[in-house]
Structure formats: structure tokens, C-alpha cells
């Protein structure tokens, strides 16, 4: 029970990495709020988590709605010890084909909304809280078709370090999980055949020395380290869970 008596809020907690993290944090004794846009997957997540979770339907790109949802969560569960700004979209598009709207959507979701998620949490954060941002290996890898997405994740990486300094006077720690390719619905896995899933695994597994994609639960375990008192004197760092992809020659 590494999170006993702690209150956590996880954006994008209705799917993939966020859902795996909610499951793990609950098992470790935390009170958990999850947010998401999609009412159907939010309801499914609540059911999967045994009903033991506060679910809030909110679009993270809507700053006022995010502030309202965070205030509601704090009122119902208590002030936060853990904030996981996890919600994000992938947005694979070649530079020559990307519209301004597509570009702005990925920036607004993966970068702007992360900043304003932290801002919305701030009035409800306990001193000594742990803020965790979700980055990506794309911040340091060059993979065709991802320059807009990669830019947002590079920005999140820079933001982690700067927020860590800014919030340190309150004992608030800010760290980042950095997933490599991870098996979640971000890859449209819900609609994929088993063969297509194998092809995905082969494509991305081959990029890492350990030869496979990450599981959502493996990213959740890195988030748990940052969320727990095990990392009480750790701030401004990232844990990369990518099978070694970012260090491969």
C-alpha cells in the first residue's frame, strides 16, 4: 500500500496508460479521480475499476471545464497528492500533409492542455505533492510523420524541468514518464485484428534492443515510483520505458 491515504487525479484515465495507472494506484491504496472525454469508455473504466473511482467527463483543451472538474474532484476526494497529466493524442502526419488545424489540435492537446492541467491542479495541490507528466521517446527519436507530435513532447520535457524548479519551494516534485511504443488504444488497437497487432509489435519492437513494445502497466509502474514516497527527493527527471529504443545505435 504505497499510496495509502493519498489522493490522485489522472487525466485520460479512461484508456491505455491512464487506465492502467488508475488500476495500480487504487491497488496501492489511493483515492483516484479519472478524467476523459468519451462517456462510454469512462463508464467502462469505472466498471473495470470496480466502481471505486470518481469519473469526470471533461475535454482537457477546455481550460475552464478542466478547472471546474479539478475543483469538483478536490471537493469530493480532498486535495491532491498526485496529478498525472497523461491525456494525449498521437497525430501521425507527414509535414507536407499536415493542416494548421491538425497541428494546432496536437499542440493544444499534448502541450497547452498539460500546462493548464497543472495550473488547474495548483490551488488544490497539497504541499509535497507529486506531479507527473507523460512525455514520449519521440522527443529524442527521429521517426518520420511525427514532427508535430514530437515537438509537443519535447516541449513537455522542457516543461517538466522548469515546473520542477518553480514548484520546489512548496516541496512539489515534477517528473515525467517517457513511454516508448506502448500497446494502447492510441494505435487503434480496439479495431485491429490480431495480425495487425502482431505487425504493430514487429514494427515498433524492432526499434528497441529488448525487441518488444511496452505494456501500459509498465508505464504505470514508473508513474507509481514518482507518485510514492520512494521518490521523495526526486524531481525534474524522466523514467524512460522503451526497451532501450532511445539508446539503440
Which residues are the active-site residues? 149, 153
| Total interface residues for ligand NDP by CB under 6 A | 26
Cα–Cα distance, 27 to 48 (Å, whole number): 13
Tell me if 160 contacts ligand NDP by CB under 6 A.
no
Return the C-alpha cell found at 137: 521517446
| Span from 48-56, 81-89, 92-100, 161-169 in contact with ligand NDP (CB under 6 A) | 81-89
Cα–Cα distance, 226 to 52 (Å, whole number): 22
| Span from 32-40, 71-79, 94-102, 194-202 in contact with ligand NDP (CB under 6 A) | 32-40
Footprint (CB under 6 A) of ligand NDP, residues 178-207: 179, 181-182, 184-186
Of 36 and 129, which CB lies nearer to ligand NDP in the complex structure? 36
Residue from the set 3, 8, 16, 103 that interacts with ligand NDP by CB under 6 A = 16
- Quote the least distance from Cβ 19 to ligand NDP, whole Å: 7
Footprint (CB under 6 A) of ligand NDP, residues 121-140: 134, 136
Tell me if 59 contacts ligand NDP by CB under 6 A.
yes
The DSSP-derived string for 76-133 is HH-SEEEEEE---------GGG--HHHHHHHHIIIIIHHHHHHHHHGGGEEEEEEEEE
7 phi, psi to nearest 5 deg: -110, 130
209, exposed or middle or buried, with CB in 10 Å at 0-12, 13-18, 19+?
exposed
| Span from 16-24, 96-104, 123-131, 228-236 in contact with ligand NDP (CB under 6 A) | 16-24
- Quote the least distance from Cβ 169 to ligand NDP, whole Å: 28
Return the C-alpha cell found at 249: 545505435
Amino acid at each position: 500500500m504505497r499510496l495509502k491515504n493519498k489522493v490522485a487525479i489522472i487525466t485520460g484515465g479512461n484508456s491505455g496508460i491512464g487506465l492502467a495507472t488508475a488500476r495500480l494506484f487504487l491497488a496501492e491504496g489511493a483515492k483516484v479521480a479519472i478524467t476523459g472525454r468519451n462517456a462510454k469508455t469512462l463508464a467502462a473504466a469505472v466498471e473495470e475499476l470496480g466502481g471505486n473511482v470518481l469519473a469526470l467527463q471533461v475535454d482537457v483543451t477546455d481550460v475552464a471545464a478542466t478547472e471546474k472538474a479539478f475543483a469538483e474532484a478536490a471537493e469530493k476526494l480532498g486535495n491532491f497528492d498526485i496529478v498525472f497529466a497523461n491525456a494525449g493524442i498521437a497525430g501521425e502526419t507527414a509535414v507536407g500533409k499536415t493542416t494548421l488545424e491538425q497541428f494546432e489540435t496536437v499542440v493544444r492537446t499534448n502541450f497547452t492542455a498539460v500546462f493548464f492541467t497543472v495550473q488547474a491542479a495548483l490551488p488544490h495541490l497539497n504541499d509535497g505533492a507529486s506531479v507527473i507528466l507523460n512525455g514520449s521517446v519521440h522527443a529524442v527519436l527521429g521517426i518520420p510523420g511525427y514532427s508535430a507530435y514530437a515537438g509537443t513532447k519535447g516541449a513537455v520535457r522542457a516543461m517538466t524541468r522548469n515546473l520542477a524548479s518553480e514548484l520546489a519551494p512548496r516541496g512539489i516534485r515534477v517528473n515525467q514518464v517517457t513511454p516508448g511504443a506502448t500497446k494502447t488504444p492510441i494505435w487503434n488497437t480496439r479495431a485491429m485484428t490480431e495480425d495487425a497487432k502482431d505487425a504493430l509489435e514487429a514494427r515498433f519492437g524492432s526499434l528497441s534492443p529488448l525487441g518488444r513494445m511496452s505494456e501500459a502497466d509498465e508505464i504505470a509502474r514508473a508513474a507509481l515510483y514518482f507518485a510514492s514516497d520512494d521518490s521523495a527527493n526526486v524531481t525534474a527527471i524522466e523514467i524512460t520505458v522503451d526497451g532501450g529504443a532511445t539508446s539503440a545505435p
